[in-house]
Structure 1
Amino acid sequence: MTLPDLNDRAREVFRQIVESYLSSGTPVGSRTLSKLGAIGLSPASIRNVMQDLEEVGLLAAPHTSAGRLPTELGLRLFVDGMMQMTAPSADERAAIDTSAAGGAPMEDILGRTMAALSGLSACAGMVLVPKAELLLRQVSFVPLSPVKALAILVGADGSVENRVIDLPPELPPIALIEAANYVNARLAGLTLAGAAERLRTEIDAHRAALDVATRGLVEAGIAAWSSDGARPVLIVRGSAHLVAGGEADLERARLLLGDIEGKEELARVLDLARTAVACKIFIGSENKLFSLSGSSVIAAPYRGSDGRVVGVVGVIGPTRLNYARIVPMVDYTAQTLSRLI
């Protein structure tokens, strides 16, 4: 279904129903539209048009209500082809600019900016940033049992991370010392990705003075940290906005908050916005992660000084969002973060 498939009368009735629903949150009836006067149709004629729109899947009638509301398909058609964007006001831009002012750690700035975006949009504000790459300073391996060891990594920034790794059967104790010595001598000062690459290069060139068992131990240690290092950092502010609309919204919010906690799944959703020129909009079940919570996501990438995408900023809320107002607001926030970075 596309806009050219609708005649002028159906298009105008559909537009007014969607705009009224997004404003009020309640189903829209033929009498309500007739009283607006802009369509110039009788309630009976409007009902006929509404019935046609329902038959093609753009409108739905909830329960026994005489009114109609847009389906997810209808919302997508409206957002893609009929919505008139509203640029952020001077006050809204000022609030975002002030929250993103420098002079504080980046995580604090991002948290403040998400709080501002949440307050302006009445949604939960969210920003996804890659975890800073850890530089290796020192590694040690402490035996826990014949088949387990604790790998301790000290980063160049002084941070310490521990991982329990599996040991090959009958690994001699000296292998733990040799593995730590090799990492500290040959891989210190590198990122995890760089350390893994150098290890592969030296093994291929037969320059790694390691036996097979010790080599496997070094590879396992690097892999244990690398798997976590790829996970993004998710900052969410304003979740209280998700529980402000009655029992039905409370259940939706509970489901949505559960979705948000699944950072890896959410990262895959937001990653789809990394290649977008501006905003990417996900409506309800268009993405399976939000199909149960009936939520919409509006997200946009922000970039570093080299033009490369650094992360993704966005909002999450019910499908009944003021898309025309919030989409430009999210886009402006992404542009603000890009200028800051």
Structure 2
Amino acid sequence: MPSPPLLELSDRAREIFRLVVEGYLGDGQPVGSKTLAGGLDLSPASIRSVMADLERLGLLAAPHTSAGRLPTETGLRLFVDGMMQVAEPSAAERAVIERELSGSGPVETALARTSALLSSLSACAGVVMVPAREPRLQQMSIVPLGDDRALAVLVGEDGDVENRVVPLASGTDPAALEQAANYITARLQGRTLAEAARAMHREIASERAELDAAARDLVERGLAVWSEDAARRPVLIVRGQANLLDEVAMGDLERVRMLIDDIERSEQVAALLDNARDADGARIFIGSENKLFSLSGSSVIASPYRDREGKVIGVVGVIGPTRLNYARLVPMVDFTARSLGLSLDARAGHSGR
């Protein structure tokens, strides 16, 4: 059911609702009227009456007859959108994030470090959607590994180095390896692999390629292996699933099992994170608001990261139970996303010098 506007709640109801939500987010336990009575000038009976009204509105629920109340997903959405006071990352947290993401090195290293960092700071699972990127290449070499295999080494303009094993036809002349590598390097420089492949295919098809049969076959084999491998490349880096097994979660192992199973569905998680690409800042998905985590009752906080031109190149986030500390984690995910974008820009600038 749709949640009522905050203005429809009395001041007393808003305060009790806020205290119940904050108490639940703090320890994951239902909050009872006696607990609230200690901080309010109201009797437990009066508090129970207000809580019953909030339950009828669909904002609170009682897991057991004699238990206190906890917020429903509808209640959490109302709290997050209308009552939450975000707390910016502390100076110490900002320093940790900036230190961990500073420096040079492969882009993949920065992405993996970001995922681990988010997991550590949030005590949740940290996720990073790897940007769809086609690095511009600088050089290729082919090193024989035996009679039927060779190692192809590609060097990108950003300094990244990737290796792939390429099958060889029996009896391939080592001179053909050198000829193929020189041919590919001459056409790779400043191009993506896809751009270079199109140019090479055109030359080979029109027989303008100055290659003998063995070198031509090697070029085509190498491009096929590389293209097939790139298509399989994972789109997500996930760290910290073990964080989901805290003391509260251990009381509902089936929910945790479903959550971990959900996270393993990388394509579906990537599709969910992709919904945050157009957001100005962090987006919050609570429980059944997304189909993927509807059964496990989990939440996702995700924020896009951008390049120096402001183009979105990926998404970072955390996945955890609905009782996340949203006020702390929303600005932290946002800050991490901005820091990652700056880090990737610095890496690109360093490799371009």
1:27–1:68 Cα contact (<8 Å) kept: yes
Provide the residue aligned with 1:328 in structure 2: 331
CA distance in 1, matches of 2:165, 2:120: 36
1:84–1:324 Cα contact (<8 Å) kept: yes
Provide the residue aligned with 2:231 in structure 1: 229
Provide the residue aligned with 1:309 in structure 2: 312
2:256–2:296 Cα contact (<8 Å) kept: yes
Provide the residue aligned with 1:6 in structure 2: 9
CA distance in 2, matches of 1:292, 1:198: 49
Which aligned runs of 4 or more in structure 1 are off by greater than 6 angstroms? 134-138, 152-155, 195-199
CA distance in 2, matches of 1:87, 1:259: 30
Cα drift, residue 130 of structure 1: 2.5
- Unpaired runs of 5+ residues, structure 2, are 142-149, 156-161, 167-182, 208-219, 345-353
Residue pairs, 1:19-98, within 5 angstroms: 19-37=22-40, 40-98=41-99
Q: How high is the sequence identity, in percent, across the aligned residues?
A: 58
Letter in 2 for 1:112: R
- Unpaired runs of 5+ residues, structure 1, are 139-151, 163-183, 203-207, 211-217
Letter in 2 for 1:339: L
CA distance in 2, matches of 1:159, 1:22: 47
CA-to-partner distance for each residue in 1:154-183, whole Å, 9 max, x for gaps? 785564488xxxxxxxxxxxxxxxxxxxxx
Secondary structure in 2 matching 1:288: coil
Residue pairs, 1:1-341, within 5 angstroms: 1=3, 2-37=5-40, 40-133=41-134, 156-157=154-155, 159-160=163-164, 189=188, 191=192, 194=195, 225=227, 229=231, 233-245=235-247, 246-341=249-344
CA distance in 1, matches of 2:104, 2:154: 24
After superposing the two structures, state which structure 1 stretch, 103-112 or 307-316, moved more.
103-112
Cα drift, residue 112 of structure 1: 2.3
**RMSD value over aligned CA atoms?**
3.3
2:114–2:128 Cα contact (<8 Å) kept: no
CA distance in 2, matches of 1:198, 1:108: 31
CA-to-partner distance for each residue in 1:220-241, whole Å, 9 max, x for gaps? x98x947963865211122211
CA distance in 1, matches of 2:165, 2:192: 14
Relative to 1, partners in 2 of residues 1:95 and 1:48: Cα closer, same or farther, differing over 3 Å?
A: same
Relative to 1, partners in 2 of residues 1:131 and 1:250: Cα closer, same or farther, differing over 3 Å?
A: farther
CA distance in 2, matches of 1:251, 1:137: 50
Cα drift, residue 94 of structure 1: 1.1
CA distance in 1, matches of 2:289, 2:33: 29
Secondary structure in 1 matching 2:243: helix
